Structure 1
Amino acid sequence: MKHSRWTGLIYLLVTATGWALNWPAMKVLLREWPPLFSRGVAGVTASVLLGVVAVCVGERPRVPREYVPRLLLAACTNVFAWMGFSTLSMKWLSVSEGALLVYTMPIWAMLLAWPVLSRRPSTVEFLALLLGLAGVVVLLGGRGVAFDAGKIAGIAFALLAAVLFALGTVIARTPIPVPPISLVAWQVGLGCAPMIVAGLLIEHPELASLHADGWAVLIYMTLVPMGVCYLAWFATLRHLPPQIASIGMLLVPIMGIVAAALVLGEPLGWKEAAAMALTLSGVALALRRKAPQTEPE
Structure 2
Amino acid sequence: MDRSRWIGFACLGVTALGWGFNWPAIKLLLRELPPLFSRGAAGVTAALILACIVLARGERLSVPREAVPRLLFATFTNVFAWMGFTTIAMKWVSVSEGALLVYTMPIWATLFAWPIRGMRPMPRDVIALVLGLAGLVVLFSGQGFAFSHDKLVGIVLALAAAILFALGNVLNRSQIPLSPIALVAWQVGLGCFVMLVLGLAFEKLDFSALSPTGWTVMIYMTLIPMGVCYLTWFETLRRLPPASASTGMLLAPVIGVVSAAFVLGEPLGVREIIAMVLTLSGVTIALQKS
Instruction: Spell out, residue by residue over 1:120-156, the C-alpha distance to the aligned partner (whole angstroms, 9 max, x if none).
Output: 1101000000000000000011221110101100000
Distance across 2 between alignment mates of 1:69 and 1:179: 17
Distance across 2 between alignment mates of 1:43 and 1:88: 15
Distance across 1 between alignment mates of 2:255 and 2:163: 22
Instruction: Spell out, residue by residue over 1:53-93, the C-alpha distance to the aligned partner (whole angstroms, 9 max, x if none).
Output: 11111111111110001001111100000000001110000
Q: Which moved more, 1:271-280 or 1:141-150?
A: 141-150
Distance across 2 between alignment mates of 1:289 and 1:113: 13
**How much does 1:157 deviate?**
0.4
Give the equivalent residue in structure 1 for 2:98. Answer: 98
Distance across 2 between alignment mates of 1:192 and 1:274: 35
Using the aligned pairs only, state the percent identity: 62
Could you tell me the TM-score, scaled by structure 1's length? 0.96
Give the equivalent residue in structure 2 for 1:235. Answer: 235
Q: Unpaired runs of 5+ in structure 2?
A: none
Instruction: Spell out, residue by residue over 1:193-217, the C-alpha distance to the aligned partner (whole angstroms, 9 max, x if none).
Output: 1101111222222233212111100
Give the equivalent residue in structure 2 for 1:165. Answer: 165
Give the equivalent residue in structure 1 for 2:135. Answer: 135
Give the equivalent residue in structure 2 for 1:187. Answer: 187
Aligned residues: 290
Distance across 2 between alignment mates of 1:10 and 1:16: 10
Aligned pairs for 1:1-297 within 5 A: 2-289=2-289
Residue type of the alignment partner of 1:16: A
Distance across 2 between alignment mates of 1:3 and 1:142: 46
| Other structure's SS at 1:121 match | coil
Distance across 2 between alignment mates of 1:172 and 1:99: 24
Give the equivalent residue in structure 2 for 1:294. Answer: none
Q: Unpaired runs of 5+ in structure 1?
A: 291-297
Instruction: Spell out, residue by residue over 1:229-251, the C-alpha distance to the aligned partner (whole angstroms, 9 max, x if none).
Output: 00000110111011110010000
Aligned alpha-carbon RMSD (Å): 1.0
Residue type of the alignment partner of 2:75: A
**How much does 1:187 deviate?**
0.4
Distance across 1 between alignment mates of 2:105 and 2:281: 13
**How much does 1:170 deviate?**
0.3
